[in-house]
A and B are shown apart, each in its own frame.
Chain A
Amino acid sequence: MAETKEKSLSDEKPKPRVRPIVRLGIFLISHSFLVSVVCCTAGVLALFLLPVLAKNTYISENALMPGSASPMLSNQHVSDGNRLVKDLTNPNSKSSETGIESHKIIAQYMLDLGAEVSFHKFHPQMNQFHPLHFFSSPVSGKIQENYSCSSYGINTVGIIRAPRGDGKEAIVLVTPYNALKSGFGEALSLGIAYSVFSLLTQVTWLAKDIIWLVADSQYGEYAAVAAWLREYQTPKFSSLSTPNAEMCPDVNNLFELKGHSISGSKFSNSFRRAGTMAAALVLKVRDQNEQFEDTISIYAEASNGQMPNLDLINVVNYLAVHRQGLRVNVEKLWPLLNSSWLKSLGEIFESLAKVAKSLYPKWKFGIPATEYVEGTATLASSLYYQALGVPTGPHGAFRDYQVDAITLEISPKFSLDKVWRNDILLRGGRLIEGVIRSVNNLLEKFHQSFFLYLLTSPSKFVSVGVYMIAFALLIAPLPMVAASLYVDANSSSNCSKGDSSTPSAITDTDEHGIAIRSWRWLNSAKLVFIVHLWGAIVSLLPYFISQIPDCSPTTSFMIWVLLSILSLLTLNSVLASPLACAKATQEKEWALVKSVTISSVFIGLGLMSVINFATAEIGALLMVPMCLLARPLKLDVRAGTLRSFCRLICNLVLGHIAFPPAAFFLLKGMLDGFGNANVGDFWMWVESLWAWNSATYLFIDLTWRAHAVVAHQSCMMFWNLDVLVLSL
């Protein structure tokens, strides 16, 4: 009989020549512990090396030709702009309650230049999260809300038709402006835009239409721009779908009056359009003053970590630094700038680079420690804002329609000085003019340069090819460990089967009669699937909870928790009580469960890295160690050695940290102090995330599920432990 078995075994697997790639795979799988430790360390290290590996930006699209023409913006245009600023800051114009007066002034100014002017009425619309809209186009399925006549905003839109263009393309210039409480900065940004606008009505080189959108920011800058874009991109043909705004009589009267008072053939009440947008610039001037230099901050992150084409940032950076002498700034994570450990890490890298250079002079990859720290801080903020998935400014609305857009925020050095004001108008105006002229040269839409990148300084970037290496190293252990666990589980079960009397028969049965040897993982897959299903339900719950009126964040959070637990119990009872039946099998099958969990986490992380890299990277940092270390607590307790005790502690700590609410409170506590952390905050945060359709929300959900699986695994063991204690 033994012979038979051997024979059948050897027949089943006739010892073939093992191919090198298979041998490599087997080697990796058998040393999965070492490999995973090495890979994870390398992944984290590579993440810290990214600022060193960053490349200098370069303008990839030849047609842009930034700065090749000398700026045409003269003092005449600047004084025009100054006039507008004066008129707007004049207290007389602010007397009206709705702020309609200042819009009238702006429209009149635009008309005087010969531009086409129209007003766009809009109602602030909350970004509604709808679970099924994530993958559909941004246009489809917007929910029409009930409008009230009381709250509406007015965008003023001026369009210059290009003398050389065919009206198929356009460049957008956006200046947020709150007519009710406008600061001096906003007026100044309007002045800059106006001076550029007045220049552009005269120039002959214009090949794309120019749209100047004065976005009414009393309901938020983003809402105004998004409402205008929605109207622009989805023309409404039927009279049925026109929003109720038209039915508000007072509003209409106002506009009628306005239409008459502003005499001009080029004013129209209807919505005006130009061609498809090539690029959009949002211009802001900050009221606060910078101590050192005139700086200009670039905000680029749109929703879900999308970035505009790198060429747009390059053009702005090039013109600002080399033509206008402005200091360009991108967002940094300020606390990191002073951290000593980062500085010492930078010094280590610097000294390593020095050693390398002394060995072989052509190796020049080192950067000074201070630069490294700054690069890391910028990179961290870049990662953070991309991971959050919430746009950093009104430019985010454009990205939803595939338009490249950035926000430029000018922070001037001095204040309220006539000469200085002219200077900032001139330089800002020339910068905008240069950018518009470059974009005007474009023949196609931006496509040459990168869309997937992280900035480490305004002129340095890490491209997708580089940062993906760090990520790939970090998650490489997952499939390997999953495979090794799977192989172990299968081979051990085969061994145990060999002891039983029937050869090659299928003996492994449980109460469901699943008797298939190589499909045994199906049970664990079912368990994991059920936990994921629960996660999906939990993540959909806020949508329904938010429908409940008058709920404070804390109570909603409590309702959420309660409903989650309830849904778990229901699922548990409905779907053949997976937890109970798993309890019996999990004792021996935890390896398979872990293997399936790790595979699902791997799929999820891989998916997320395509949707939003930064989220996936941060998530991987949290989840990979948790998933790799997860082990039934009972086994560790039983083993009783120091090593297993350490593992147990790691398990518990990681398990709690990676729990999304816990992670949130920890972060908040670190930033604000633990005193004022509140359960409701988490609710608010989640609400803000799904309001922006953030993929991070889905991801937190994924984290949640993975965590639930792991926690479940551990908790089952706890339960078993209790049972054991009781029986003793």
Chain B
Amino acid sequence: MEKVKKKIGSFSFWNWVTASIIFRLILIYFPKNLNLSSRPEVSTPLTSFRRLAEGYWLKQSFMSPYAGSMYHGSPLLLSLLGPLTINSLVSVIADVVSAMLIRATGQNLRLAYLRSLESLDLVKQIEVSEFLFSGDIAALIYLCNPFTIVACVGLSTSPIENMAVILCLYGACSRLIPLAAFGWVIATHLSLYPAILIIPVIFLLGCGPDSPPRKLFLQRHQQKEVLNQSKLPPRFSWGPVIHFAFWAFLWSVYVLVLCGISLKQFGGLWEMFKSTYGFILTVEDLSPNIGVLWYFFAEVFEFFRNFFLIVFHVNILFMILPLAIRLRHRPCYLAFVYVAICSMLKSYPSVGDSALYLGLLGWFVNELADMQFSLFLFCGYVGVSLLSPVMHNLWIWRGTGNANFYFATAMVYACLQIVLVVEGVSAMLNHDRKLRNLITGKPQDAKS
């Protein structure tokens, strides 16, 4: 029965994957009509393909690709994607690869979860046969999400950045340490913010994928009064982490050397850091996007600018530590939360970032079954993603609205993301609490 179900499931999975690819290919044929590549939601100064084409052109004519403050991405992308800027087949491929990696990671996570339930003897209480294939679901969410499709068709580099992040997580989950290090280095190199993913990756490598808190296992085995070491999750081991650090060092030296070679005539690495990371951190470009920083820094007095820059960036760093402590037993979930927080407080967010964390959310369908406000969040996302272009239209094309209209939707969007993160985290903690209750309540249950 199980097998049949799985067969049907995988069959329709591939159906959906093909459908989404075909849909993308159809949309690619209408680039002019859709005009997506000029939408502020899709292409930010960092991810725009048009800017990349400009940088490529500058480089072809022996000028610095960063001249004129047009291009702010990596010089490696120029050499890789420069000749391919005409079509967005690259992003379609990147999307499919990411979806496959998400699927594999999700299957990994599901197996790990089942294993930990088994060792907790909770298999009967929580009907394992009802468990959804979270990998398939996550991959389908990622592929069929309108945000992903728009980011893919709209000629932006965010599919590639997302792929790097997913590659990193996949490598860490399946303990392919060089791959994880490569993904992490590339993701950091491309958009800086994934740097904080090093914490979940270390946890992943140190103690394996998501599982209920270690305390539970100890409790469980105390009840049984036999301390079966083999069933306990492994303690934190430093070996893979050091291995990871070594590989990360190697890959980053490699990437920096490559960048240095390609930018030798144009000011070298310092120029690159200034116009990529510096551009991200100092929020130089104040053109409207779906984030909240552009409006704020357009309003703030020049005198306070540096202060608020520090405040906003430290905001992300402040959240790292408490979350890492609370969710250290669930590193993948921690990664999801970090990605969501980054996409909220990023200096140039685009819908591609939300596509990433919404896809990752699919990994936890079984754990988050009791999440509250799901309908509200869904309607909120739908409403905001429709309202935001309308407000932009009202402001830019009709002239009857103003910047506040558009910024209001950006604020609502940020609030929705906050609600999503808060509810998600609390649902996950509730899930852990439920497992604990099941363990402590088990003897009574057996009696009755």
Contact = CB atoms under 8 A, between A and B. Distances in A.
B433 A11 contact: yes
Given A136-B35, A137-B397, A603-B382, A518 B433 contact: no
Nearest to B400: A451
Contacts of A1: 444-445, 448
Contacts of A452: 400
Which secondary structure dominates chain A's binding surface? loop
Range of interface residues on B (Cβ < 8 Å): 35 or more
A7 B369 contact: no
B118 interface: no
Contact of B33 (A132, A506, A525): A132
Nearest to A12: B430
A646 to B, nearest CB: 30
A360 interface: no
B130 A513 contact: yes
A506 B131 CA distance: 9
B34 A132 contact: yes
Contacts of B438: 8, 504
A505 interface: yes
B397 A517 contact: no
Contacts of A507: 127
Given A132-B33, A603-B386, A513 B397 contact: no
A611 B390 contact: yes
A8 B35 contact: no
B32 interface: yes
Interface string A632-662: 0000000000000000000000000000000
Range of interface residues on A (Cβ < 8 Å): 35 or more
A515 interface: yes
Nearest to A595: B375
Given A4-B444, A8-B437, A12-B433, A518 B400 contact: no
A505 B126 contact: yes
A606 interface: yes
Contact of B400 (A140, A141, A306, A603): A306
B370 interface: yes
Given A595-B375, A607-B386, A132 B370 contact: no
A588 interface: no
Contacts of B267: none
A133 interface: yes
Nearest to A509: B130
Interface in A594-612: 595-596, 599-600, 602-603, 606-607, 610-611
A244 interface: no
B398 interface: yes
Which secondary structure dominates chain B's binding surface? helix
A544 interface: no
Nearest to B405: A610
A140 B378 contact: no
Contacts of A518: 369-372, 374
A140 B444 contact: no
A130 interface: yes
Interface string A599-633: 11011001100110000000000000000000000
A135 interface: yes
Contact of A525 (B378, B394, B448): B378
Given A451-B400, A595-B375, A515 B430 contact: no
A596 B374 CA distance: 12
Contacts of B437: 4, 7-8, 11
Interface in A496-516: 502-507, 509, 513, 515-516
A135 B389 CA distance: 8
Contacts of B231: none
A321 B71 CA distance: 58
B441 interface: yes
Nearest to A525: B378
A536 B82 CA distance: 37
Nearest to B370: A518
B198 interface: no
A521 B374 contact: yes
Contacts of B254: none
A402 interface: yes
Given A138-B397, A518-B371, A513 B5 contact: yes
A601 B383 CA distance: 11
A130 B33 contact: yes
A596 B375 contact: yes
Given A135-B390, A516-B369, 16 more contacts: A4-B444, A8-B441, A11-B437, A12-B370, A135-B389, A136-B35, A141-B33, A306-B400, A504-B438, A505-B126, A505-B130, A513-B5, A513-B130, A517-B369, A521-B375, A611-B394
24 contacts: A1-B444, A4-B445, A8-B434, A8-B438, A11-B437, A12-B430, A12-B433, A132-B34, A138-B397, A141-B33, A505-B126, A505-B130, A506-B130, A507-B127, A516-B369, A518-B369, A518-B371, A518-B372, A519-B374, A599-B375, A606-B387, A607-B386, A610-B387, A611-B390
Interface of A: 1, 3-4, 7-8, 11-12, 130, 132-133, 135-138, 140-141, 306, 402, 451-452, 486, 502-507, 509, 513, 515-519, 521, 525, 595-596, 599-600, 602-603, 606-607, 610-611
Those 5 A-B pairs whose CB atoms lie nearest each other, nearest first: A451-B400, A402-B399, A132-B33, A1-B448, A603-B383
